[in-house]
Amino acid sequence: MTQITPPKAFRQGLRRSLPFVVIVVPFGTLFGVVASEAGFDLVQTMGFTALVIAGAAQFASLQMMQDHAPILMVLLAGLAVNMRMAMYSASLVPYLGKAPFWQRALAAYVLFDQSYAVSLERFEHEHEMTIPARMSFFMGVAVPISILWCGATAFGALVGSVIPSSMGLDFALPITFIALIGPMLKSLPHVTAAVVSVAGALALGWMPSGVGLLIAAGLAMLTGALVEQWSSKWAH
């Protein structure tokens, strides 16, 4: 098999990013709308979306701010949602770990669910790719998604102030979170982790803002990992 050149890999990545337009545009728009409804100005909303580039974490920390949580709890909620990025980072090391430092830093900046999932699938199935070709493919997926994400947020922030608040916008965040979680409930460990998270958070709701949630999330992660371990043992 001939090796794919970096420019060709980049164009392949671009094509693989296309299906995500239908997710990223409405989702980014929604963040812009919700942030501007919450009172963020355009610069703050765009700073948030361009510097963090992590939809679920942005929504999570915004939700904690709606609850007037202490700054530490706002940060912990957003970063807890992003812990999975550390896992992504670790699992890309065998494929991108030998690229130049600045390229790895750039890739890390745009490492999110879609760029990770598409790239890992490709790297696992095509062993002949050179490191520059892998990096080009990864950036081909990530760059258009990042640009669309920021553009959609800007659009949402600009139209957000026009949407009447009686449209049930108060519930846009909960609906978004539920919509994110539904597709993740794909195995028994995921479902049990979600159930423990809900039960724990409700039972510990009397604790100071955010503390009960962090304890519940820790228990839920442990539950998911243990159930996965047990079920893989039963399978053998």
Partner 1 sequence: MGALGYSTAEIWLIIVLLAVGTFALRFSFLAILGDRTLPPFLLRLLRYTPVAVIPGMVAPLVLWPAATGGETDPLRLAAAAASLLVGVATRNVVWAILAGAVVLVGGIWATGSL
| CB of 163 closer than 8 Å to CB of 39 | no
CB of 155 to partner 1, least distance (A): 16
Contact 77, 197 (CB under 8 A): no
Closer CB to partner 1, residue 11 or residue 131? Answer: 131
**Shortest distance, CB of residue 14 to partner 1, whole angstroms?**
21
Residue 78 CB, shortest distance to partner 1, in Å, is 5
Nearer to partner 1, 2 or 171 (CB): 171
What does each C-alpha distance from 112 to 2, 25, 105 come to in angstroms?
Answer: 30, 15, 13
Rounded CA separation 37/11 (Å): 38
DSSP annotation of 100 reads -
Tell me how crowded residue 25 is: count the other CB atoms within 10 A of its CB.
17
Nearer to partner 1, 8 or 84 (CB): 84
Give min distance, CB of 128 to partner 1, in A.
20
CB-nearer residue toward partner 1: 7 or 18: 18
CB of 8 to partner 1, least distance (A): 24
DSSP state of 58: H
d(CA 234, CA 39): 52
Of 21 and 147, nearer to partner 1 (C-beta) is: 21
**Rounded CA separation 166/118 (Å):** 39
Nearer to partner 1, 8 or 209 (CB): 209
End-to-end CA distance of the chain: 36
Place of tokens 């371990």: 229
Minimum CB separation of residue 125 from partner 1 in Å reads 20
